[in-house]
């Protein structure tokens, strides 16, 4: 059971990394253009154009998109979320949730390995 769970988690991690790097290098400018005038997105651009900088910018924008319905003080973010094409919004949110669930799964798997002895 542990081996199957670890393999599924490993596969999810590679899908997450591939999708995140694709979006960070080919779609990030299009995503950030929708948030024109947003102070939060402008601050994210300070991270640079390297691999880590672009993926960090993507994760920041994806958090803005995923949590925009909860509380958002910046009207540019609200308008940016509504201006994003539906497929692109879905891809960004899928990346965010896949990364979150992969991290959560790794923590649960490590806990089970240590304390439940799977």
Residue-wise pLDDT for 41-69, tens only, equals: 888 889 888 888 998 999 888 888 887 76
Q: pLDDT below 50 — which residues of the chain?
A: none
Task: Give the model's pLDDT for residue 83.
Answer: 86
pLDDT given at position 23: 92
Q: Nearest to residue 54, comparing CAs of 67, 62, 45, 63?
A: 45
- The total of other beta-carbon atoms located within 10 Å of residue 50's CB is 9
CA distance 50 to 31: 17
CA angle 8, 22, 30 (to 5 degrees): 135
Rounded-to-10 torsion of CA 113, 115, 117, 118: -50
Per-residue pLDDT, 54:
92
- By percentage, how much of the chain surpasses pLDDT 70? 95
- How is residue 23 annotated by DSSP? I
Residue 93 tokens read as 């949110």
Query: How high is the pLDDT of residue 74?
Result: 72
Q: Where are the alpha helices (DSSP H) in the chain?
A: 2-22, 28-34, 39-44, 51-66, 75-83, 86-111
Residue 118: the pLDDT is: 61
Contact 102, 9 (CB under 8 A): yes
According to the model, what pLDDT value does residue 14 have? 92
């Amino acid at each position: 059971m542990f081996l199957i769970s670890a393999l599924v988690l490993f596969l999810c991690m590679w899908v997450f990394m591939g999708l995140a790097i694709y979006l960070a290098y080919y779609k990030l400018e299009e995503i950030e253009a929708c948030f024109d005038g947003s102070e939060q997105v402008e601050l994210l651009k300070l991270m640079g154009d390297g691999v880590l900088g672009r993926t960090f910018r993507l994760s920041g924008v994806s958090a803005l998109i995923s949590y925009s319905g909860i509380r958002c003080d910046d009207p540019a973010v609200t308008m940016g979320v509504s201006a994003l094409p539906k497929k692109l919004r879905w891809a960004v949110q899928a990346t965010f949730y896949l990364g979150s669930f992969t991290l959560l799964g790794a923590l649960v798997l490590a806990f089970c390995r240590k304390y439940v002895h799977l």
